[in-house]
Amino acid sequence: MQQKISPARSISGSITLPGDKSISHRYAMIASIAEGDSRIRNYSTGADCHSTLDAMRALGVPVEENGTEVTIRGRGLDGLRAPAADLDAGNSGSTIRMLSGILAAQSFPTRIGGDESLSRRPMARIIEPLSRMGANISAREGRFPPLEICGGRLRSIDYTLPVPSAQVKTCVLFAGLYAEGETIVREPVRSRDHTEIALREFGADLRVAAKTIALTGRPTLTGRDLLVPADLSSAAFFVVAALLAPGSRLTIRGVGLNPTRSTLLDFLAGMGAAIRITEVESRNGELAGELLVSSSRVRGGVIEKETTAALIDEIPVLAVLGAASEEGLTIRDAAELRIKETDRISTVAENLHRMGVEAEELPDGLAIPGRQRFHAAELDSFGDHRIAMAFAIAALCADGESLIHGAEAASVSFPEFFETLRSLY
């Protein structure tokens, strides 16, 4: 599917966005192994989170959907059933990596794979700790999906993550739910902590001190009534659009503001972006609030070290902002970007070049000079949702109508993206 994007004069209005993808996955997985019913409101509309729901159904968990409200009849820690066929994680790295932690503890074997992009994503990062816990996992070439997981009784471990990854942390903690004793995960950099918050919300005994998490195995998890905040990573596209288009005034309601995710807002504010946060409240342990964004001249800067890890999903759209900023943007320490849904360093650079924007590809990042103009162009999502959406925002600033090929990729996290964007200009 192609989308034509014409330039925007301003981006104004008030929007609510679909539920957070990271939180939705976690609530669905934990609710499935909890005792009793959970009701999850504002569940993500993205295809990725539906891959998780379908996998849970295939594992014998009754899951009902009514619009964006999902009811899950939890089967308890030991209540999952052997699936009749291979599990399909689609495009979703979160589904395969996080769910493998649960699959590794089952008494039946499972095979889990996904689409072509997922089949190229590295899995050694979960195979290693799960094998140490006692699971037997084979993978294509030893490290790519599909995975064949022969689980069973697991041992708790004390594990230091070699890469900063909330998916790997979650995988080990989910496996740790099934192991006797205490599982400890040590992070090199504090990654998003939705799993820790959600596990506590469902009743797990979990202690966090700095970058170390300790979880007691075999808890009784209890079904909950949950409300998912809007996805800040989806909001990021509209925030950048409103900053760039002159005369914009945009309100985004009910957005997740978890401090391990909201580095985006601090970073933008530090560059001079006019973003006001109001109506902050806590829901199921997660902060949410309203964002009011007005067009601003942003300075630009450097994204590196821990900041890179904290902004990893927002880098494609920040690269677009960087090209229009006063001083440009340099992104370093972002080698992980090369193993996302696409190699995002090269897909971002390629689309910028197509728009006549200068950007230098570095082994672990990008160097993008500022004060550049975007020219209308034929752009490509390369099958990556965040690339489709980031370049829709770049196209808003171009000197004519641009075309985005493969725009349907946006539905992986945000099926309503183009419709929402059109409602604002």
Binding site residues, ligand S3P, CB under 6 A: 22, 94, 165-167, 170, 192, 312-313
Shortest reach from residue 13's CB to ligand S3P, in Å: 27
Shortest reach from residue 166's CB to ligand S3P, in Å: 3
The edge-to-edge listing of strands for the beta sheet with 225-227 is 63-66, 69-75, 35-41, 225-227
Q: Which is nearer to ligand S3P, 61 or 312 (CB)?
A: 312
Q: Please say if 399 is a catalytic residue.
A: no
Q: Which is nearer to ligand S3P, 44 or 296 (CB)?
A: 44
144-163 residues labelled b (16+ CB within 10 A) or e (exposed): bbbbebebeebebbebebeb
Active-site residue among 313, 333, 380, 399? 313
Q: Which is nearer to ligand S3P, 91 or 372 (CB)?
A: 91
Report the C-alpha gap between 316 and 270 in whole angstroms: 19
Shortest reach from residue 382's CB to ligand S3P, in Å: 16
Shortest reach from residue 309's CB to ligand S3P, in Å: 7
Q: Which is nearer to ligand S3P, 200 or 297 (CB)?
A: 200
Q: Which is nearer to ligand S3P, 20 or 350 (CB)?
A: 20
Shortest reach from residue 251's CB to ligand S3P, in Å: 25
Q: Which is nearer to ligand S3P, 374 or 414 (CB)?
A: 414
Q: Which residue has the tokens 């006063």?
A: 326
Shortest reach from residue 234's CB to ligand S3P, in Å: 11
Q: Which residue has the tokens 């601003």?
A: 296
Tokens of 359: 């950007």
Shortest reach from residue 409's CB to ligand S3P, in Å: 14
Map the chain to HEC letters. Answer: CCEEECCCCCCEEEEECCECHHHHHHHHHHHHCCEEEEEEECCCCCHHHHHHHHHHHHCCCCEEEECCEEEEEEECCCCCCCCCCCEECCCCHHHHHHHHHHHCCCCCCEEEECCCCHHHCCCHHHHHHHHHCCCEEEEECCCEEEEEEECCCCECCEEECCCCCHHHHHHHHHHHHHCECEEEEECCCCCCCHHHHHHHHCCCCEEEECCEEEEECCCCCECCEEECCECHHHHHHHHHHHHHCCCCEEEEEEEECCCCCCHHHHHHHHCCCEEEEEEEEEECCEEEEEEEEECCCCCCEEECHHHHHHCHHHHHHHHHHHHHCCCCEEECCCHHHHHCCCCHHHHHHHHHHHCCCCCEEECCEEEECCCCCCCCCEEECCCCHHHHHHHHHHHHCCCCCEEEECHHHHHHCCCCHHHHHHCCC
The edge-to-edge listing of strands for the beta sheet with 301-303 is 301-303, 329-331, 365-368, 360-362
Residues acting as catalytic residues: 313
